[in-house]
């Protein structure tokens, strides 16, 4: 019984130091703005079939996204963190960030009938404590920035002009 009390006390102490979902979303949004200062992002805590941290962002300024439709951004990303305890509203001990959409649209290959080509951005699921996941997200943003910079010549003229 004494061991259970110690374990619960240690768990509560660790949770008190852990980022809350709202703090996580705010820090992730701030870090995004550091890497892509002119781009749009929507990173927040929402309720859809339970509480989640929702991520959507791109590389264009919000007012230049074609048709004001987020999915028209050449680097549109969409993802979630779902591991939030229903009773406490806090993260569980281990969380994961996964993106369902994560790539960069470029000119189609020569002779292709497609509207766009695609560069894979190499995103992999990031799991761990909220702090570790936030660090992984920042590393991914820096990698994405490098991919965008490396592929500017391959982007459509329309997208290059919108990024200015």
The domain ranges of the chain are: 2-163
> What pLDDT does residue 2 have?
55
Answer yes or no: CATH 3.90.1150 is held by domain 2-163: yes
3 state DSSP class of 100: strand
Over residues 2-24, the pLDDT tens digits come to 555 545 544 455 555 689 999 99
- Tell me how far apart the 2 most distant CA atoms of the chain are, in Å: 72
Quote the CA–CA distance of 108 and 78 in Å, as a whole number: 23
Q: For residue 152, what pLDDT band results from cuts at 50, 70 and 90?
A: very high
39 or 161, which is more confident: 39
């Amino acid at each position: 019984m004494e061991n259970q009390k110690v374990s619960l006390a240690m768990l509560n102490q660790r949770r008190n130091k852990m980022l809350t979902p709202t703090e996580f979303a705010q820090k992730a949004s701030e870090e995004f703005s550091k890497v892509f200062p002119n781009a749009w992002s929507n990173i927040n805590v929402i309720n859809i079939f339970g509480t989640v941290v929702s991520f959507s962002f791109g590389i264009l300024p919000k007012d230049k996204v074609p048709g004001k439709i987020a999915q028209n951004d050449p680097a549109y990303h969409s993802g979630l963190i779902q591991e939030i305890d229903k009773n406490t509203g806090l993260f569980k001990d281990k969380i994961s960030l996964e993106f369902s959409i994560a790539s960069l649209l470029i000119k189609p290959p020569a002779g292709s009938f497609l509207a766009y080509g695609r560069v894979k951005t190499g995103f992999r699921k990031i799991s761990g404590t909220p702090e570790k996941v936030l660090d992984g997200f920042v590393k991914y943003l820096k990698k994405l920035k490098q991919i965008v910079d490396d592929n500017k010549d391959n982007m459509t003229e329309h997208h290059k002009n919108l990024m200015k």
